[in-house]
Amino acid sequence: MNCENLREILAEDPARHNEEFDRHAVSCAACRAYRNRLLRAEELIQRALRFDVNATRDTSAGAGYVPLKRTNWVTLTSGIAAGLLAAVTFWALLGGDPELTYEELAAEVAGHWYNEPESWVESDLPVSRAVLTNVLDGTAEINLAELTNVSYAETCLVAGELIPHLVIQGEQGPYMVLLMPGRMLESPVPLRLPDEGLSGHILPAGPGSIAVLGSGQVTELEQVEASVVSAVNWTI
């Protein structure tokens, strides 16, 4: 059986033991990562739905249901909202919205720059290999002989997908790099945050795409983009 067939079986119950999938996963990092995403999504859903139903009744007045207090309504609606959020997260873990236009995708990617200001610092300290491997989660490998200046790595929700968010250091400052496996493009998509002095591109990269955004001049931006594309090896 191929990857697609095995993943369809796995999606029915990712926690159920499947010897055929286990044998396949030994040599297929992409399918291992797919199972891990399914298991994480299931955990999120279970966690979100564990809210106390007893919080919706007032036991101090004796047995039986009584009208909900405002605070209890908040508890109930918060639990429902958490469940809905978990369902959306589950969808996002399996793949985002493929119908985004290039302009919408560029807006989602560029806008993510504002979400993690703590990552946007100049640093000579590289992120550990263990952290980087965990964030890549079987979707890609990075040749650290070519890309030695990765200072930040985190998994982020961007354009409906959980993807690796990296920061690499250039001579003219840091660059945000987003790896988007499966998001195939026909041509580069410009990225611009003129108020912040940032620019870059979402670059086609085989079975995925890579976004690069920073404040460097055109020459360095082109060098950084070329280095990142060369250093990333998709394993999806």
pLDDT digits (tens, 9 = 90+) for 95-119: 555 578 899 999 999 999 998 888 9
Q: Is 97:160 a contact under the CB 8 Å cutoff?
A: yes
54 three-class SS: helix
Q: Tell me which DSSP letter residue 57 carries.
A: S
Pick the most confident of 65-69, 86-90, 128-132.
128-132
More reliable by pLDDT, 88 or 117 = 117
Q: Is 126:149 a contact under the CB 8 Å cutoff?
A: yes
Q: Is 21:8 a contact under the CB 8 Å cutoff?
A: no
94 contact partners, CB below 8 Å, separation of at least 6: 11, 37, 38, 41
pLDDT bucket at 56, cuts 50 / 70 / 90 = very low
pLDDT bucket at 55, cuts 50 / 70 / 90 = very low
Q: Between vectors from CA 181 to CA 215 and to CA 132, what angle results, nearest 5°?
A: 65
40: nearest Cα among 32, 51, 29:
32
139 three-class SS: coil
State the pLDDT at residue 4.
Answer: 67
Locate CATH 3.40.1000 in the chain.
102-234
State the pLDDT at residue 132.
Answer: 95
Given a cut of 70, whether residue 171 has pLDDT beyond it is: yes
pLDDT tens figures, 118-155: 899 999 999 999 999 999 988 999 998 888 899 999 99
Given a cut of 90, whether residue 229 has pLDDT beyond it is: yes
Query: Per mean pLDDT, which range of 14-18, 37-41, 46-50 is the poorest?
Result: 46-50
In this structure, how many other beta carbons lie within 10 angstroms of the beta carbon of residue 69?
13
**Number of residues that this document lists for the chain:** 236
pLDDT bucket at 232, cuts 50 / 70 / 90 = very high
CA distance 84 to 82: 5
224: nearest Cα among 235, 233, 213:
213
Give the predicted TM-score (pTM) of the model. 0.64
**What would be the CATH architecture of the domain defined by 102-234?**
3-Layer(aba) Sandwich (3.40)
